[in-house]
Amino acid sequence: MDAKPKEHKLALILRKRGFSYSEIIKKIKVSRSTLSSWLRNTHITNSQIERLRMKNFKARNLGSLTLKKNRIEKTKRIIKNAKVEIKEIDLYHLKIIGSILYWAEGSKQKEYNPSKELVFNNSDPAMIKVYLSWINKCLKIKNEDIKFEIYIHETYNRTRHQLVNYWSKVTLFPVKQFPKIYFKKNKVNSGRRNRGNNYFGVLRITVKRSTDLNRKVIGWIEGICNKVDSI
């Protein structure tokens, strides 16, 4: 005999109205296994099935949005706390930072091409700013000895005016120092998702008559490697 006839009857009514198991359990304090045994022969209409499907979809969506929001808030919190760990940066630190940046993104001299100038390519405006600060403060490069070139695929549909003004604002250099823009015609097959409305191509920064400086930077990089090995 059913120990909870009132609850059993209410569960049947709610199920026939299209309530989900989770909704019914919130109203009737029984275990899911008990509820399953009560309702195993209870059929619901197609419209009720669709209601449950949409409710589950919305619940999953809401759960995903909540998780995403929590991840964003956690990320902001971690970044904020980490930022204060970086204290004052002097020229010595900047020398190391710039050397590592160039090691990663700059053109190196090779045995077959030992006369390569300092050439740096990147699309990240923050990295570009740090690099320009490095060549100005650590390498003592004058503004007139810096040459800029912009590379971007035609797919991104940017005008010359948009590109030049964007990179001029990033670098704080006048628009006249961006005379060359190269629009690549081949299709973009990259799966990267950071190339949306805020993408303005790659900026190439060349320091004129900088062959010996390139060699000097190579020496700094090797010095950094030697010091790291000795830690």
Cα→Cα distances 195→50, 130, 190, 224, Å: 39, 21, 9, 33
pLDDT at 197: 76
C-alpha angle with apex 41: 38 to 46, nearest 5 degrees?
115
Compute the average pLDDT of residues 125-147: 97
Q: Copy the structure tokens of residue 114.
A: 């030992």
Write down the pLDDT at residue 79. 95
Least confident segment among 71-75, 173-177, 195-199:
195-199
CB burial of residue 196 (10 Å; 0-12, 13-18, 19+): exposed
**Looking at residue 196, what is its pLDDT?**
65
Check residue 1 and give its pLDDT: 47
Q: Write down the pTM of the prediction.
A: 0.70
pLDDT tens figures, 137-193 = 999 999 999 999 999 998 888 999 999 999 999 999 999 999 999 998 866 555 555
pLDDT above 70 for 101 = yes
**Residue 145, Cβ density class (10 Å: 0-12 exposed, 13-18 middle, ≥19 buried):** middle
Percent of the chain scored above 90 by pLDDT? 55
Judged by phi (left if over 0) then psi (alpha if -120 to 50, else beta), residue 147 lies in beta
The pLDDT value given to residue 2: 60
